[in-house]
């Protein structure tokens, strides 16, 4: 089994989901008491959020790239970044390591294309929805990516930071998210991307009437497949 290096703690609710899904995937494949071989670097999210709010992506990239290299030096055969938003610094991470980096947008795009869809709604943080680092990666796979109009865009972002990353699951916020999704479907979305791990804690596939793409689950499955490729 190959060793997976996780860059997590952004937030820790997100990292726990990654660890759970990866370990469950390995156990399902190998049976018994098998679990994943993981090396984890988990951050104080308050420090990361401060860099995000200041737009200091350069410093964030240097930090994550250095720690990705440490994961590799410690024995990681692949690096997985346990967050959608911080894929804005993916190029810095990829440049710092010689082992594979599993890009979350690529695993998501593959799942969407495999279902024959062309137009999808993207929900996530403001950074993920507005900037090109994620949307552009999806578009490079031939997809048309829709994001919410205001005030829906701000609502989606605020619920993530004010509630979900703090462990708050609010039924009223879930209802608001489903209304946003309904408006996106009316605009032509054939599917919905949960482009933030914490969104998956609020909205599930059973809540929507179109294909739902939980990026954390898809990313975790790709990590498990890589780890077990030679098993």
Q: Long-range contact list for 222-225, CB < 8 A, 24+ apart?
A: 222/102, 222/107, 223/4, 223/22, 223/25, 223/78, 223/80, 223/102, 224/22, 224/25, 224/26, 224/29, 224/36
**Exactly one of 196, 197, 215, 216 is catalytic; which is it?**
196
- The yes-or-no answer on residue 108 being catalytic is no
Contact 19, 25 (CB under 8 A): no
Contact 195, 124 (CB under 8 A): yes
**Exactly one of 82, 83, 85, 128 is catalytic; which is it?**
83
**Quick one: which H or E segment has residue 119?**
strand 119-123
- The yes-or-no answer on residue 82 being catalytic is no
Q: What DSSP line would sit under 140-174, residue for residue?
A: TTT-EEE-PPTTHHHHHHHHHHHTGGGT---HHHH
Active site residues: 83, 196
């Amino acid at each position: 089994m190959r060793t997976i290096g996780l860059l997590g703690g952004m937030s820790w609710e997100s990292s726990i989901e990654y660890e759970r899904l990866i370990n469950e995937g390995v156990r399902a494949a190998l049976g018994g008491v098998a679990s994943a071989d993981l090396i984890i670097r988990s951050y104080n999210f308050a420090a990361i959020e401060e860099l995000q709010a200041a737009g200091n992506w350069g410093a964030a990239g240097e930090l994550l790239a250095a720690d990705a290299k440490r994961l590799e030096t410690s024995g990681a055969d692949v690096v997985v970044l346990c967050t959608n938003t911080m894929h804005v610094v993916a190029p810095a991470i990829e440049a710092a390591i010689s082992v594979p980096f599993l890009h979350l947008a690529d695993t998501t795009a593959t799942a969407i294309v495999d279902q024959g869809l062309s137009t999808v709604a993207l929900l996530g943080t403001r950074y993920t929805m507005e900037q090109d680092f994620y949307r552009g990666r999806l578009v490079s796979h031939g997809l048309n990516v829709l994001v919410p109009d205001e005030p829906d865009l701000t609502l989606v972002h605020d619920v993530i930071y004010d509630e979900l990353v703090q462990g708050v699951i609010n039924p009223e916020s879930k209802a608001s998210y489903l209304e946003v999704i309904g408006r996106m479907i009316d605009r032509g979305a054939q599917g919905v991307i949960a482009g933030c791990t914490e969104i998956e804690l609020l909205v599930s596939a059973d809540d929507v009437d179109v294909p739902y793409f939980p990026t954390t689950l898809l990313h975790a499955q790709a990590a498990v497949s890589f780890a077990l490729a030679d098993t």
